A and B are shown apart, each in its own frame.
Chain A
């Protein structure tokens, strides 16, 4: 479904983010990308949603080479991938409802569809009573749940989550992880980048470990082991 093939990302001779990374993610998998800060986890996810371009290599999404896509086709790629970020990246001038609805509006969905799905998804993440609040009126955990709702509302085939619990306390952290597991059970592929050892060891799913920009281990089920 997703294939990274000999991916390298070199910013300059002192800063090599990824070196010859190759691995594949299959449909319905829950894959954790682990590694220290700067190991290249975020870079890899940014490459998948074409936020950045690799120096060399190929990235396939549903057999389509992402790097060969013209700019005007990128929105269509991104609508098939739900992205969740450490800093939430909500639109500050839109309410929780509008933030989630935005992901469906860009795809030209009808108002009725949007109304149904957004309410349902906000209910699923437990924020139905806060749907008219602006991000500044929500806690960190609530913001991240809105972000997850936005990432899943248009039923993407993949959700990529880049350190989604990095800014959260332990209770909120587990709420978010449970949500991601539930989404995965419903059939969506999840790629989770994190450096939280406890989460990885508790998940007992596939783990791809990155060290200095290369794949050090790829085990299923895997544990958090860094040399």
Chain B
């Protein structure tokens, strides 16, 4: 058993080496396939983060009448926090609203002066509600509309922005779906290219397979070295592909950071290096072994 395994492994390595050009071509195709898979995966990560960021920009603010008691506002806040659809609720008191207003208009002296001349704070207290999913704002708005605090509310900006929010939700949904579909389609095409390359490589060995069988080799003794070669193609392809992906991210990552400061691809690769290595190595090995297995099976029937 051990002696056979040893022979199969050795034979796989020797064939890999002696098939020079064929091995190089197969490794190249494996590299491209794995790099394509990883790029699709990383682009999906970027797309998801961009869409999450967009979704987070959508929130709903509830403004309260000037004379509303803080306890009423806080009671609505705790009710909202109890809702499944709500991710977070932030309370901005009238004083805080004034501070924010002053800060954001610090350069505008006329405005600041006119505010200072006012004896009363004209700004309303508000609750900023962030939903877990941006499609939930309708439900939340309805909930507020039916609550006991309804009379203390001066306005809900959801009603004003409903059309925009809905449109944005649609765009996000379509982008997520089409991103996933396009990704899967591309990944499948890449798989077919690699699979067929291995099949062609093994097609060129079909007569050898027959000879091995006629000399008395068992199916495993014939198949084994091809599987070992498949593992080598996949592993080496994974290493090359990782090198390519890391170089591209090192080059493009900082540029991406300029206009999407929230997405740091370089850090992402750094944090997930071992995962990516494993993802590629496993992907390569599974691809190589599966393709070899299927391709050899066809010629074993002697």
Contacts and interface: CB of A to CB of B under 8 A. Distances in A.
Contact of B216 (A79, A90, A91): A79
Given A89-B211, A91-B211, A93-B208, A108 B4 contact: yes
A93 B15 contact: yes
Contact of B3 (A72, A90, A108, A154): A108
A95 to B, nearest CB: 10
B35 to A, nearest CB: 29
Q: Is the interface of A mostly helix, strand, loop or mixed?
A: loop
A150 interface: yes
Q: Classify chain A's interface size.
A: 20 to 34
Contacts of B217: 75, 102, 106
Contact of B208 (A49, A91, A150): A91
A92 interface: yes
B212 interface: yes
A75 B218 contact: yes
B302 A51 contact: yes
B118 interface: no
A29 B18 CA distance: 41
Interface string B59-79: 000000000000000000000
B221 interface: yes
B106 interface: no
A102 B225 CA distance: 13
A133 to B, nearest CB: 14
B117 to A, nearest CB: 94
A105 B18 CA distance: 19
B228 to A, nearest CB: 14
Contact of A89 (B4, B214, B221): B214
B148 interface: no
Nearest to B15: A93
Contacts of B212: 91, 102, 106
A110 interface: yes
Contacts of B7: 105
Contacts of A102: 212, 215, 217
B208 A75 contact: no
Contact of A49 (B4, B214, B218): B214
B19 interface: yes
A137 to B, nearest CB: 13
Nearest to B215: A103
Contact of B19 (A75, A78, A93, A103): A93
Interface string B15-32: 100110000000000000
A91 B212 CA distance: 8
A74 B300 CA distance: 12
Contact of B218 (A51, A92, A106): A106
25 contacts: A51-B214, A51-B302, A72-B218, A78-B215, A83-B214, A89-B211, A91-B208, A91-B211, A93-B14, A93-B15, A93-B18, A102-B212, A102-B217, A106-B212, A106-B215, A106-B216, A106-B218, A106-B221, A107-B216, A108-B3, A108-B4, A110-B3, A111-B3, A150-B215, A154-B216
Interface of B: 3-4, 7, 14-15, 18-19, 207-208, 211-219, 221, 302
